[in-house]
Structure 1
Amino acid sequence: MSDDWWSVGEALDRIERLDPELCAFIEVWHARAMALAGSVDRRLPLAGLPFAVKGPAGIRSYAARRLVAAGAVPVGSTAVPGPGTYWQTWGRGAHGRTVNPHRADRTPGGSSAGSAVAVAAGMVPLATGSDGAGSVRIPAAWCGVFGLKTTRGLLPSPDRTGLATAGVLTRRVRDARLYLRCVLDGYVEAPRARTPVRATYSPDLGFARTDPAVEAVVRAAVDRLVAAGAVRLDGAPDSSLSLLDPRETWLAVRGGEPPRTAGPEAGSGADARADVCVDVRAENDRRLDAYFARTPLLLTPVTPNRPHGHEGPGPDVYSTALTWAFNLSGHPAASLPAGFTPDGCPVGLQLVAERGADVSLLEIARVAEEALPIVRP
């Protein structure tokens, strides 16, 4: 059990005190949680751990059921975006619009908005999430907590497109490891990462327009990892990674457009768009496979932009630009707090590993976390 967990009663007290301002929760289950906390088997690995679930249906998710079986106690469901939104980068709780705990005038990200805020504000030490385009990593980055998107197919997901996978948000990497240990059948502990871990750093994946302030924070974090001996940047001429912009491909897959193969029979209009999207996905998969065959870790900013205002990011700004490629490819990816911009906005460092290397990725993230103590403004 983690030394800094708190009791279910303490979690409920914090929620009662903080949530009217932060609006992280849709529902809070006071009586049910206290009853379960009083009857839980103390021999279980997560006995008495208070946690939150994402959205109205979160308590029925596979991960939530496994956490409860391990002794954890669900205390409530967290805010997700309301209807009629295009970019899922905000949330609405029972008390109103979900607020970023670091900058009240900014969004916490989404769609796992309330989960990130609940963890960042200390209401719970762990919350479930799901990530179809960055929905765990973006709020983790913008709220200054750790977030993991698992490999596609590692855990059951109701998303038929294959884009959304289960994820978790925690204050420390070690609690994400406990989560994975309890929800993943056949979990095998990874040895401590042999450092330095070979990696490359890309500020833009070859196509994104990254805010210089965000890039400066992430680059400084990468430099600190190198100086601490946690990471060694690969300087070989063929080591860099550049991807094709996956925007149209992600939209096509999410919209349910049928896959097609480009060739002499390619048509025009929607058919041509589908052809191009298949080519982009296949080419990016080829580049990623070649990259991870020689290098175990990829580092990027989580988002190209800072947390935006509550009215949205503005036209042609895609907070998902650096995350959704890995939903299409199925790779595991994590967001680790990297620091703050000069105006007090949290920034996340994205760590991406080979498909199926989730346990190893968490071990690398733990080593990186030790080398990146964050001074919070």
Structure 2
Amino acid sequence: MRPPTTNAQGSRRRPMRFPEYDQLDALALADLVHRGEITPLELVDAAIERIEARNPAINAVVHTMFERARETAQKPLPEGPFKGVPFLLKDLMSLYAGEPLTYGSRFLKDWRPTIDSELVKRYRAAGVIVLGKTNTPELGLVPYTEPELFGPTRNPWDTSRTPGGSSGGSGAAVAARMVPMAGGGDGGGSIRIPASCCGLFGLKPTRGRTPLGPLIGESWEGFNIEHVLTRSVRDSAAMLDAIAGPDVGAPYFAPPPERPFLEEVGRDPGRLRIAITTTPFMGHDVHEDCKRAVAETARLLEDLGHIVEEAAPQVDGEALSVAFLTMLTGQVAADIQDLAELSGRTPRREDFEIATWTLGLLGRAVNAEEYVRAVRYMQSTARRVGAFFEQYDILVTPTLAQPPVPIGSLQPTALEKQLMNIASRLRLVGLLKKVGMVEQVAAKTFDFIPYTPLFNITGQPAMSVPLYWNAENLPIGVQFVGRFADEATLFRLASQLEQARPWQHKMPPLVASQTE
């Protein structure tokens, strides 16, 4: 056993149990369980120890289920690919019977579902043991994780910066080696954004690939899709095999793959025709670090034998932003009412953050014609983007337009919040629309995430791959987009990139300081 070490404050601490835990991915841990070299309970205890040690610095886990997890670990487990592996659920949409589900909102802070969602059932059938829930912004609406209910989650690479969102708690927890993978959802980039900010692999599957039932048919016009954040490509592929496929009553589902996704990992992707661009689809300026990450990736792809060309689908970013925002406000208004029915409570302005409440008020002011025309515009844009992929196998962009930004920098300003409060209290929604207040706040968001929402609109699979770290040792993700229902090509290419430029050995300072 290693001797006790000294932390930054000079106090002595004992080394964490099972130090290999921080280096191994989920399939490697499951293999140790399968071979009888470690027990599920020992893995759970190792994860608990890391959550207790690291979570105070980053606030990634907002609800723990430690005793329930330890009890589960001592009972027979499903013979799934991840038998005995510790896991965390995002505190949004993932119903686990008897455990809180808050959606990051004060309105639901005391609500506990009585059933498991289909996705949670499939996670558990894969063999994982759930240890708790991770932080998320209210209703998962923004690309940073700073809810008023639980406070901000911090990035383990630099705790003054955001881990992204809305799956920011999951991203921070996986990057901090609390668990090897965690649940996430992606309605405008919410898996890929924290993957970029936290130096992880994050795949958004094809629309309809994973289930949303039994309470939800589709989410955000089908833009939202659930999966996981991981450190390895193979973990993402294996979990997608475990959870993919329609559930009862699904309004649609993605075409089944030719073979299991895990079998694509390590398979030769062939010589791909790859388009590459740093021109934003929505938003404006792009940080030089993000451009540099794409430029280095282009050279790597050429070295691997692929054909790389400067090209991009043509998109009217301003019109698309307006359409997306129109859809979003309508969805927020409906979400507030749906959550009211679910919880049996009457929603009040004081129950929600002011930006969320304002979006809901604006949504109630959108008429049916405006909403339908916005959706139709996004659908027609998706048709044009689909035509672009008749010429190219893959499109490469930065995942984000900036490195991880400081905590609080994407929030509405104090003045903007004050105006929203006044307008909502006096029901002056027309005034907010007239001065373009929400559009101004949204513009700040789209300037951070100009690349990801387009592929929620099209429904195509897209992944953020951690191929670059800047001079400040902050991760910068690169986005790869595939044809509709073609996760297979993405997994083959991601595996090739992972072999050519490995990233799993890179550890954030928060973890490195505890493993020295």
TM class, shorter-length: 0.7 to 0.9
RMSD of Structure 2 on Structure 1 (CA): 2.8
- 2:249 maps to which residue? none
The alpha-carbon deviation at position 181 of structure 1 amounts to 1.1
Report whether the alignment pairs 1:171 with 2:231: yes
Number of the residue aligned with 2:58? 22
SS at match of 1:134: coil
The match for 2:287 is 211
Name which of 307, 318, 322 aligns with 1:248: 322
- 2:487 aligned residue: 358
Q: How far, CA to CA, are the matches of 2:273 and 2:455 in structure 1?
A: 19
Distance 1:221 1:38, change over 3 A: same
Deviation of 1:94 (Å) = 8.9
Whole-angstrom distance in 2 between the partners of 1:162 and 1:279? 13
Write out aligned runs for 1:192-271 (5 A): 192-205=267-280, 208-229=284-305, 231-234=306-309, 240-245=312-317, 246-256=320-330
Aligned partners of 1:65, 1:279: CA distance in 2, in Å? 34
- 1:155 paired residue number: 210
Query: Residues 44 and 198 of structure 1: is their aligned pair in 2 closer, same or farther, counting only changes over 3 Å?
Result: same
5 Å-filtered alignment, 1:224-373, equals 224-229=300-305, 231-234=306-309, 240-245=312-317, 246-256=320-330, 277=374, 280-313=377-410, 316-317=443-444, 318=446, 319-373=448-502
Q: Secondary structure at the match of 1:355?
A: coil
Name the CA shift for 1:123/1:322 in 2 (closer, same or farther; >3 Å): same
Matched, 1:121 2:193: no
For residues 132-158 of structure 1, the C-alpha deviation after alignment (integer angstroms, 9 at most, x for no partner) is 111111011001101111111122233
Tell whether the 8 Å contact from 1:23 to 1:94 is kept in structure 2 after alignment: no
Which residue identity is paired with 1:220?
E
Equivalent AA in structure 2 for residue 294 of structure 1: Q
2:227 touches 2:240 (CA, 8 Å); kept in 1? no
Match for residue 134 of structure 2?
Answer: 78
Q: For the structure 1 residues 63 and 91, does the alpha-carbon distance in structure 2 shift closer, same or farther, using more than 3 Å as the test? A: farther
The residue type paired with residue 196 of structure 1 is R
1 CA distance for matches of 2:141 and 2:269? Answer: 42
Please state if 1:8 is matched with 2:44: yes
**Match of 2:6?**
none
CA contact (8 A) 2:58 2:153 kept: yes
Query: Distance in 2 between the 1:145 and 1:54 partners?
Result: 16
Question: Whole-Å Cα distance in 2 between the matches of residues 44 and 4 of structure 1?
Answer: 13
In structure 2, what residue type is equivalent to 1:152?
R
Q: In 1, are the aligned partners of 2:269 and 2:492 still within 8 Å (CA)?
A: no
Distance 1:276 1:66 in 2: 36
The answer to which of 190-199 and 145-154 deviates more is 190-199
Give me the whole-angstrom Cα distance separating, in 2, the residues matched to 1:109 and 1:369. Answer: 22
**Pairwise CA distance, 1:249:** 1.6
In the TM superposition, residue 200 of structure 1 has moved relative to its aligned partner by 0.7
Point out the more displaced range, 40-49 or 61-70: 40-49
Q: What SS class does the counterpart of residue 497 from structure 2 fall into? A: helix
Q: Please, what TM-score do these two structures have when normalized by structure 2?
A: 0.64
C-alpha contact 1:330 1:355 (8 A) present in aligned 2: yes
> Once the 2 structures are TM-superposed, how far is the Cα of residue 288 of structure 1 from its aligned partner?
1.5
Cα gap change, 1:2/1:346 in structure 2, threshold over 3 Å: closer, same or farther? same
Aligned match for 2:260, one of 189, 197, 201: 189
Instruction: State which drifts further: 168-177 or 74-83.
Output: 74-83
Q: How far apart are residue 274 of structure 1 and its match?
A: 5.7
The CA distance in 1 between the partners of 2:50 and 2:476, in whole Å, is: 25
| 168 and 251 in structure 1: CA distance in 2 versus 1, 3 angstrom threshold | same
CA drift of 1:312 comes to 2.3
Aligned-pair CA distance for 1:33: 0.7
Deviation string, structure 1 residues 154-177 (Cα, Å, up to 9, x no partner):
222332532211121001111001
Extract unaligned runs of 5+ from structure 1.
258-268
Contact 2:174 2:229 survives alignment (8 Å): yes
AA at the equivalent of 1:225: L
Structure having the higher helix fraction is: 2
Cα-to-partner distance string for 1:276-305 (whole Å, 9 max, x where unaligned) = 745642442232111212211111101111
Which is further off, 271-280 or 120-129? Answer: 271-280
Say if 1:363 and 1:309 are closer, same or farther in 2 by CA, change over 3 A. same
Superposed CA offset, 1:76-103 (max 9, x none) = 11011248x9634124599742110111
Count of residue correspondences: 361
Distance 2:309 2:92 in 1: 44
Cα displacement string for residues 236-277 of structure 1 (whole angstroms, at most 9, x for unaligned residues): xxx5433221211211222238xxxxxxxxxxx979966874
Instruction: Tell me what 1:262 maps to.
Output: none
Kept in 2, the 8 Å contact 1:40–1:48? The answer is no
Deviates more, 1:306-315 or 1:24-33: 306-315
2:210–2:227 CA contact under 8 A, matched in 1: no
Query: CA offset at residue 222 of structure 1?
Result: 2.5
TM-score, normalised via structure 1 length: 0.86
Greater alpha carbon shift after TM alignment, 351-360 vs 14-23: 351-360
> Match for 1:183: what amino acid?
I
CA contact (8 A) 1:140 1:348 kept: yes
Partner SS state of residue 2, structure 1: helix
Query: 1:62/1:110 Cα in 2 relative to 1: closer, same or farther (>3 Å)?
Result: same
What runs of 5+ residues in structure 2 fail to find an aligned partner?
A: 1-25, 31-41, 97-115, 246-255, 332-365, 412-440, 509-516
Q: Name the CA distance, whole Å, in 2 between partners of 1:35 and 1:4.
A: 19
* In 1: Cα distance, 2:485 partner to 2:141 partner: 31
Query: Displacement of 1:121 after TM fit?
Result: 0.6
DSSP-derived class of the 2:326 partner = helix
* 1:57-93 Cα shifts (integer Å, max 9, x gaps): 523443221020121111111011248x963412459
